[in-house]
Amino acid sequence: MLKGLVITLALAGPAFAAEDITGRASVIDGDTIDIQGVRIRFDGIDAPESRQRCLNSAGEAYRCGKTSAEALDAFLAQSRPVSCKRTGRDRNRIVAICTRADGTDVNRWLVRNGHAIDWPKYSKGRYAAEQREAEAARAGIWAGIFEWPCVVRGARCD
């Protein structure tokens, strides 16, 4: 029985076999990517939902979730592959801190550029300084008005 479990986990692929997952990332949304069939959610941050609308600095509605995902896709395309260090699990996804091939922290970049927020419940404030930078620069979602992504999902934010 135990031998069968070990074999099953070994064959399950990178989600179980290794701490690091590296490869070409496909963007699912602003805080989730897929590498080699493994869904990875960025640890400690929360990006606008795909369906989420925000108001820009002129008060006009735009699809901020789509904007976040597109910015992530363009950012990742500049330096491949992406490497993710697993920190846990969330439903059917790996939770990780990811870096591009050039060493840039993807999670941190998303928050610093206003494409995601620091989620203190999970980050313990790891990205708080980057969020303050984004707010001060009125970068991304901070240029206008938005709801916290967890509110849009109907979840508790604390």
Q: How many domains does the chain have?
A: 1
12 within domain boundaries: no
What stretches in the chain show pLDDT beneath 70?
1-18
Residue 118 neighbours by CB under 8 Å, 6+ apart? 44, 45, 111, 125, 126, 127, 128, 130, 131
Residue 11 lies in a domain: no
pLDDT of residue 86: 97
pLDDT of residue 71: 98
Domain membership flag for residue 158: no
Domain that holds residue 122: 21-153
For residue 30, give the CATH number of its domain. 2.40.50.90
Is 115 a domain residue? yes
Q: What is the pLDDT of residue 158?
A: 73
pTM of this prediction?
Answer: 0.87
